[in-house]
Amino acid sequence: MTGKNDILELQLRTQAFPVDANPDGDIFGGWVLSQMDIASGIMARKRCQGRTVTVAVDSMTFIEPIYVGDVICCYGEIIKEGRTSVSIKIEVHAVRQNGSFKVKVTEGVFIYVAIDKNKKPRSINSSFDN
């Protein structure tokens, strides 16, 4: 099945702290990537009704920096489904410290494979215990 949802759904919201930043106060790209992986992993697990693993980050684009104190919001949508895999687009928007505006800061596509109890690929339409 290939399809596109009409709207991106909020999957995760968190705040960037000084420990997540470089000496200039910009948030590390790896931290943002991990938040996106968590957000898309939530979606993959729900859609596949069980355990999934990240197999690829198909694309990743950094648009604007994220700063200490920003609240990031990860929005996602399923953009493609295969027999055992699902591709999820994640957009990250940052609510700046003063809270007066939100800006798109990055986006990416994450690919997951559903796995069974033996860690082998399984149909996304079968449950984890199969």
Whichever domain contains 80, its CATH number is: 3.10.129.10
Residue-level pLDDT at 43: 96
In a domain, 130, yes or no: no
In a domain, 64, yes or no: yes
pLDDT tens digits, one per residue of 56-108: 999 999 999 999 999 999 999 999 999 999 999 999 999 998 777 899 999 99
pTM above 0.85, yes or no: yes
pLDDT tens digits, one per residue of 20-43: 999 998 999 999 999 999 999 999
In a domain, 71, yes or no: yes
Q: What phi, psi does 113 have (nearest 5°)?
A: -120, 135
In a domain, 123, yes or no: no
Higher-confidence position of 3 and 11: 11
Calculate mean pLDDT across residues 117-123.
95
- How many structural domains comprise the chain? 1
Band of pLDDT at residue 109, cut at 50, 70 and 90: very high
In the structure encoding, which two tokens stand for residue 98, read together?
């003063």
In a domain, 1, yes or no: no
In a domain, 119, yes or no: no
pLDDT tens digits, one per residue of 56-65: 999 999 999 9
**Residue 63 domain boundaries:** 9-114
In a domain, 72, yes or no: yes
| H or E stretch covering 112 | strand 102-114
| CA–CA distance, 124 with 81 (Å, rounded to integer) | 9
